[in-house]
Structures are given as structure tokens and as C-alpha cells.
Structure 1
Amino acid sequence: MSIHTNILANIAAIQARIDSACQLYQRQSPPTLMAVTKTRNAAEIAAAIDAGICDVGENYLQEALDKKAELNSYNVNWHFIGPIQANKTRAIATHFDWVHSVDRAKLIQRLNDQRPDELAPLNICLQININDEDSKAGAAIEDAVELATLALTQPRLTLRGLMAIPVNTDDNQQQRHNFAALRAILSDLQETFPEAKLDTLSMGMSGDMESAIAEGATIVRIGSDIFGPRPTAAQ
């Protein structure tokens, strides 16, 4: 089976899962399916776009820029979803449509100041460390309002919502509990800032997508279930 055919079949299967979950949990609007493309080559990404993917998520800046240049004829939304180093913010602000991993005030300020004037405001999500894990990036829950307040004052940014990578578990109840906690934070922000366009919950990956949909995900980030296992480094 060709790469193109395999990816097409995988995306169709994921869309069927999304449709089934939306029906089960009475969701009127399905979440956007983002293809997470770290370590994937341009041919694989092109196959996914040809199969209907309109949103591409990248974790590593230089890898993303190289692939974006190869795929510049495709009209898709490019999302930066990995940890952000402060010295990389100019390139991120220039080359992406969305940034999901904003977790501190310095990044908010730099992304705003470095977003080119000729581009539309950069869509951002605040990444929340929902389980307070030392090994993961993300702002503390109690800092969400302060960061949102700052982001909403920036003319070159549009704060869209929240992102989280909860603790890895196969327990459906725990998955839903974690996602519900992120949804509750967004709800609080919507009440605090009723004028803001806070419409995004970026949550859910291959192993917990249905739980995320149950709790209101508007973007699900899927990699391995689209492309298969990641290539391993040569020994």
C-alpha cells in the first residue's frame, strides 16, 4: 500500500472515530483534526493535505521551516505546538498562523512585538500544565487569568483559548477528569473576559481523543494514528 493510500485510509478512520464520538457525546460541531507532523517528511504531509487535512502542527522550529518551504504551494494553517525558546519567537511569530504552547508573559510580549504588521494577528493558546507535572511545560492553573489579561492587551495577538497535554493514562475517567479541568478554566476565562474570542480547547491525541471530544475539544492533535509509528533513529 502506498504512503498516500495508507494515510488516506488512516484519516478516514480517524474521521469516523470523531463522528462516532460526536454522536455519542451529542456534539453538534466536530473538532478540527490537526495532523501532528514532527519527524514526518514533506511527502507524508502532502499526502495528508491531499486527504483533506487543513491544519498542520509542528514541534521543532527548524524542521518546520524546512518543510513549510517545501510545501509552500499548499494553503494550510501552520500551528506551532512545541516548547518555545525565547530566541526562536521571531521566526515563530513570522511563519505560523497559530501557537499553542504559550506559557509565560515573556513569550506573549515577544510574539506580539515580533509579529509582522502585514500579517493577521497571531492566534495563540495558553498552555496549561493541568496536572502540575515537573516534566512538562505549561503555565500553572493559577496563572491563567494573569496571562490571559496580558495576551488580550496585545494588538498583534488573538488569544483563542487553552492547550494542555495531560498526564498519560489509559483510564478513560481520568482522561475526562483532566480535560474537564481544562474546560472549566476556559469557562472561567470566558466569564472574566466576555468580549474575547475564547473559543478553543486544543486537547486530545491519538490515545485519548474520544475523551477530549466528550469534554469539548475544538482541536485534536493526531500524529501516529495518521502516519503510523514515528521512524526510529538509525543504530
Structure 2
Amino acid sequence: MTNQIAENLEAIHAEIQHCARLAGRAANNIELLAVSKTKPVSDIVLAYEAGHRSFGENYVQEGVDKIAELKHLSDISWHFIGPLQSNKSRLVAENFDWMHSLDRLKIASRLNEQRPAFAEPLNICVQINIDEEESKAGVLPSELMPLLEQLAPLSKLKVRGLMAIPKSSKVKSEQLASFQKMHDLFATCQQKYPQFDTLSIGMSADLCAAIENGSTMVRIGTAIFGARD
């Protein structure tokens, strides 16, 4: 029986290479995050067997259960990419390697306090509401620099970069406009914070636009694991 997930991963990597070539970038500077939310552990194992190591989960308890079940696969990097309520922060602090959706100091302070002493600092991306949509989480671009200054003393967090989910559009010029704003914001941050190395933007529908604007991490789910129930 063929491993369809392995074939899908190969196709996505080929698309990343194609988009990177068009953008004049090296494809090995762009990490593929496989979004495994709602998918069974068996699917993650198939992706793992195909050589994949970075997985994204949107729901805290589901993610924690999968991490526990797969703890023998110690080289998996687990990314929390969904909204986080403060009463669930300990589970993220104790179990995940990355948190992509930080958008307020209260959550950051809790994560910092709850990160185990023996663990490496929790890698953080600050979520940006780049198109200033009322329905979306994330800090406004104008709020970012003050928040980063407040995060700087939190030693159990390592702020690595920015994440965004721009407004949905099939028009490439509109995709590019949102991603260009993210690119410029990221570049501004890098001037002040040299450890900034992660721009988590781009999904299946806007992969090339994101890579053209400097994405270092793209989040792909359905194209790897198939449609969700």
C-alpha cells in the first residue's frame, strides 16, 4: 500500500522549491509545518516515517494527547498554532516546543511562569492581525513594538518571529499586499531583535505569495493529510 501522505509531502516540497526558485530564494530556508489538527496519530506516524518532523496543532487537549502518545518519537517538534485561553496555558508551556499565536502579555507571563525549569525556552511567534480584521486574533501592527519590549525580560520565552493569517483572497495582488506588510514589519523587528528568524505565513492557497515575501515557515494541512471530517 502506498503512503499517500508521503506522496503529498513530496508534492508540497516540490511546490515550495518551485515558489522559492521564482522568488530567487533557497528552498531549504523555508520550513514546512504539517498541520495535523483533527487527524489521527496514525497519520502523523506516516508523515514521520516519510521523514517529516514538524507538526502543528490548533486544539490544546488534542495536541497534548498526541504528544503523550508519540513521546517515544523524541525528535518531533510540536507547534501550537491555535487560539489559547489563559486557563490552558500550562498545558502549552509544559508540552509544546513552539507557540505561534501569542497576542497578549497576560498569556506570555503565564507561559513564562509555567515553562518547566528543565525545558528549553518556549519558542514564540507573535500573531499579527495584519489586515486589522475585527474577527481575527492578533496584535495590530502599531501594537507590536510595545509588546516586544514587555516580552524581552521573560527568560523562559524565546521570541523568534511573527505569524499571521491574512484575509482570504484568491487574487494574488491582494495576497501580496498583506504579505508585503508582514515582510516589512518582520524586517523592522530584525533590526532591533537579531534573534528574529521566523516569519510564519502562507498556507496552501497563498504559498507562492508568502514565499515571495520572505516566509520561513508555511503551514499546510489538507494538502498533506486530506480533507478534514
* Shorter-chain TM-score tier: over 0.9
Q: Percent identity?
A: 44
Measured after TM superposition, the shift of residue 192 of structure 1 is: 2.8
Residue identity in the other structure for 2:209: S
TM superposition score normalised by structure 2: 0.96
Q: Distance in 1 between matches of 2:133 and 2:51?
A: 35
Indicate the residue corresponding to 1:143 in structure 2.
143
Task: Find out whether 1:159 has 2:159 as its counterpart.
Answer: yes
Q: Distance in 2 between matches of 1:182 and 1:122?
A: 23
Unaligned runs of 5+ in 2: none
Q: Distance in 1 between matches of 2:135 and 2:66?
A: 28
Task: Find out whether 1:211 has 2:209 as its counterpart.
Answer: yes
Indicate the residue corresponding to 1:59 in structure 2.
58
Measured after TM superposition, the shift of residue 134 of structure 1 is: 1.4
Q: Distance in 2 between matches of 1:66 and 1:158?
A: 25
Task: Find out whether 1:6 has 2:8 as its counterpart.
Answer: no
Deviations 1:104-152 (A, max 9, x none): 1111111111111100011000000011111111111111001111222
Measured after TM superposition, the shift of residue 68 of structure 1 is: 1.2
8 Å contact from structure 1 (residues 130, 141) kept in 2: yes
Indicate the residue corresponding to 1:73 in structure 2.
72
Indicate the residue corresponding to 1:33 in structure 2.
32
Q: Distance in 1 between matches of 2:146 and 2:186?
A: 13
Q: Distance in 1 between matches of 2:220 and 2:50?
A: 14
Indicate the residue corresponding to 2:99 in structure 1.
99
> How many pairs align?
227
TM superposition score normalised by structure 1: 0.94
Unaligned runs of 5+ in 1: none
**Worse-superposed segment, 20-29 or 74-83:** 20-29
Indicate the residue corresponding to 2:20 in structure 1.
22
1:207 is paired with a residue of what secondary structure?
A: helix
Measured after TM superposition, the shift of residue 95 of structure 1 is: 0.3
Deviations 1:8-40 (A, max 9, x none): 110000000011111111102431001001100
Structural RMSD (CA)? 1.1
1:189 is paired with a residue of what secondary structure?
A: helix
Task: Find out whether 1:50 has 2:43 as its counterpart.
Answer: no
Indicate the residue corresponding to 2:85 in structure 1.
85
Measured after TM superposition, the shift of residue 162 of structure 1 is: 0.1
Indicate the residue corresponding to 2:224 in structure 1.
226
8 Å contact from structure 1 (residues 18, 30) kept in 2: no
Q: Distance in 2 between matches of 1:20 and 1:35?
A: 19
